Amino acid sequence: MKNIKYKFKISLLFISLLVNNNMFAQGNSCIDNNFKNGDFETGTPCYGNSSCIHLVSQGHHQNIGDADGWVKIWNSNSSFADFYSSGYNAGGFPKPCPPTGNYGGCWISNLNEASATYREGMFGTLINPIVSNTGSYTFSFDMAKIGGHGISEIGVYGIYNPSNLPTNQPISSSHVTSNMDLFGVSNTVLLGTISVPADTSCNKQNYSITFSSSGTGFPVNGVTHILVTRSDNVMSGRSYCAFDNFCMQISEPEEPELCCDISGLNVYLLEKNGKYELNISGTTAIQEIEVSMMDYHLEYSEADCKPADIGMFGIISSTTPNLSTLVLDPASNNSQSLSWLPGSPSVLNSDVINLEVTKPAVLNIKCCDVKFTFCLKVTFKDINCNVCEIIVCPIKDWNVLNQQKILSGDDDPVNVALNEGRKKLNKERFGKDVEEWYAQLNKKPWITEMLKKYPDDIKSLLKVGRRLIQENGKLERHDLEIIEKSMRLLDSEVVKAPEGFIEEALNRLRSSVGKNWQQLMDELKK
């Protein structure tokens, strides 16, 4: 949101570089790796394989795209990174040691040259995009400088590239176009630089960079790829480096300190038929609203249900162009951060924003499923530039009662007792019909709709239940009016009740005036 000063505990993007001489075994050390095919073991290297279709002029080696999850940075005018099996060496250089299977390689050349021949890099895909403001991450890999001379430097960049396509920017020399401009400055962040050793050696060392997703310049839509190439700095060296065991792990989840200087806001996110309704009520004139993806997680029912390409997910879109007098910024739609701007300031009262969120792909097999959960951060700015930040996660219709503190939770005594009472109706002649009515009601957001239209009536009904169930009170005659009105509204405006059920239920209740909840339940056993 433009000009909003967040009171999150946000620090500038920090970089720490750690180098150690311990060998890195990815299978044992990289738990929950978010880097796709970081060890290069998925894919078949072409070098030494005469059946490959790559051009002979490329020596069957500039084929990084044959490794699953790795893509070319550019299409032409420069070289591509290489993909080798452990049995082959690059250009007569020593094989990286100790051997750990397939590996990638490329030139890291910081020389300022008119030719782009030695401009190469590794461009890998993240399994799940890194969303901004979700914590600190550690990126690590094994590297050996097996050839070259002089001093060179690696640049590690986070890139937002949902199309998974190479850049369309021209590569005319060693440093034109710059790395920051390959995919656009707004889609690129420099995560850190690493000095390549001056001396050559086959021995791999492990390098790591820790960065914050809350830092300055981190792409608003997040990071989908990691680019490892020469930094934009001009230096005196050209090094051929072998890479292996790329690993991306979260090191410290973000726990933001939310601020709210606007009183009276009530916000909840209702899940409805695979889509979402963001419900907003308040008493203060609002001039800006931002809805952004805060965090998401996915869990497949089986590991084999996860496709090789899970697609882009967590992208928010809205079909609500106007929120009272606020107007959706069309440039923000279909991103991870949507903004509604003035217009003119407006008091929002029971206003709804319709949202859709893209979900990860799952194999089209009957037994396969994916559980996708997320939360949104909703930021408000009022006419006095006060800010309120609220995090909301999707809830089902019934949980709106919990959200608005009408019930304390699923184990609220009123909730438990009402469900037990409903189940006992199965012994009545209306039992099957009542269960069907209840099932039809639950196919609609009836609680949410009733709370919007008749909030006082629903709250009064729950107060009657609270007095009877939790306070051991007795059914009073004026309670019947509250109960009857609610039943009539459900019957006429939501789903028609079973024929004759409402009249019989009311007659039974009239004969039970003066009885407590336990006595009412005992009546159902007769």
Q: How confident is the model at residue 461 (pLDDT cuts 50, 70, 90)?
A: confident
Phi, psi of 404 (to 5 degrees): -90, 10
Please tell me the predicted confidence (pLDDT) of residue 9: 28
Residue 422's pLDDT is 62
Position 484 pLDDT exceeds 80: yes
Query: CA 343, 348, 351, 353: dihedral to nearest 10 degrees?
Result: 50
Q: Evaluate if residue 98 carries a pLDDT over 80.
A: yes
Give the model's pLDDT for residue 23: 34
- Cβ neighbours of 308 (radius 10 Å): 11
Work out the pLDDT band at 78, boundaries 50, 70, 90.
low
Q: What is the DSSP string of 81-96?
A: -EEE-TT--STTPPPP
Q: What pLDDT score does 432 carry?
A: 65
Give the model's pLDDT for residue 316.
Answer: 94
Task: Quote the pLDDT of residue 188.
Answer: 96
If one compares 414 and 61, the residue with the highest pLDDT of the two is 414
| Selection from 63, 72, 203 nearest residue 146 by Cα | 203
Structure tokens belonging to residue 442: 């639950």
Residue 14 has pLDDT above 80, yes or no: no
- Phi, psi torsion values for 374, nearest 5 degrees: -160, 165
Confidence of residue 373 (pLDDT cuts 50, 70, 90): confident
Q: In this predicted model, what pLDDT tens digit does every residue of 147-195 receive, in sequence order?
A: 999 999 999 999 999 888 899 998 889 999 999 999 999 999 999 999 9
Alpha carbon distance 75, 69 (integer Å): 17
Question: Going by C-beta distance under 8 Å and a sequence separation of 6 or more, which residues neighbour residue 136?
Answer: 210, 211, 212, 213, 250, 251, 252, 254
Could you report how far apart the first and last alpha carbons of the chain are, in Å?
Answer: 62
10 pLDDT band (50/70/90 cuts)?
very low
Q: Return the bridge partners of 335, or none.
A: 316
Rounded to whole angstroms, the Cα distance separating 109 from 229 reads 9
How far is it, in rounded angstroms, from Cα 248 to Cα 302? Answer: 22
pLDDT in tens, 191-220: 999 999 999 999 999 999 999 998 889 998
pLDDT class for 3, splitting at 50, 70, 90? very low
Write down the pLDDT at residue 386: 93
pLDDT at 349: 82
Backbone φ and ψ of 505, nearest 5° = -65, -40
For residue 121, pLDDT over 80 is answered with yes
Name which residue leads in pLDDT, 91 or 158.
158
- pTM across the whole model: 0.55
Q: Is the pLDDT of residue 467 over 90?
A: no
Pick the most confident of 23-32, 75-84, 163-172, 189-198.
189-198
Residue with the larger pLDDT of the pair 461 and 49 = 461
- CA–CA separation, 112 and 154 (whole Å): 15
Closest CA to 468 of 426, 434, 512: 512
| Length of the chain as a residue count | 526
Which of the residue ranges 35-44, 84-93, 252-261, 448-457 would you say has the lowest mean pLDDT? 252-261
When the pLDDT of each residue in the chain is averaged and rounded to a whole number, the result is 82
pLDDT band, residue 17 (cuts 50/70/90): very low
Cβ-based burial of 259 (10 A; exposed 0-12, middle 13-18, buried ≥19): middle
Taken in order of first residue, the domains within the chain and their CATH numbers are 16-253 (2.60.120.200), 266-395 (2.60.40), 402-524 (no CATH)
pLDDT of residue 517: 81
Provide the pLDDT for residue 26. 44
- As a whole number of angstroms, the distance between CA 132 and CA 64 comes to 29
Residues 56 and 47: beta-carbon distance below 8 Å: no
Q: Is the pLDDT of residue 390 over 60?
A: yes
Could you give the 3-state DSSP secondary structure of residue 37? coil
- pLDDT at residue number 465: 85
Residue 423 has pLDDT above 70, yes or no: no
Average pLDDT over residues 468-483: 86
Task: Collect all residues with Cβ–Cβ distance below 8 Å to 496 and sequence separation of at least 6.
Answer: none
Residue-level pLDDT at 61: 59
In this prediction, residue 16 carries a pLDDT of 32
> Widest CA span of the chain, in angstroms?
97
- For 278-325, write each residue's pLDDT tens digit: 988 888 999 999 999 877 777 777 777 878 777 777 889 999 999 989
pLDDT band at 2 (very low <50, low <70, confident <90, very high): very low
- Kindly tell me if the per-residue pLDDT of 58 is higher than 50: no
Round to whole Å and give the CA distance between 91 and 105: 11
Helix 413-424 to helix 517-524 angle, to the nearest 10 degrees? Answer: 20
* pLDDT exceeds 90 at position 366: no
Residue 245 pLDDT class (50, 70, 90 cuts): very high
| Residue 18 pLDDT grade (very low, low, confident, very high; cuts 50, 70, 90) | very low
pLDDT of 134 > 90? The answer is no
Q: Tell me: the pLDDT tens digits for 99-117?
A: 989 999 999 999 999 999 9
When pLDDT is cut at 50, 70 and 90, the band that residue 341 belongs to is very high
pLDDT confidence of residue 525? 57
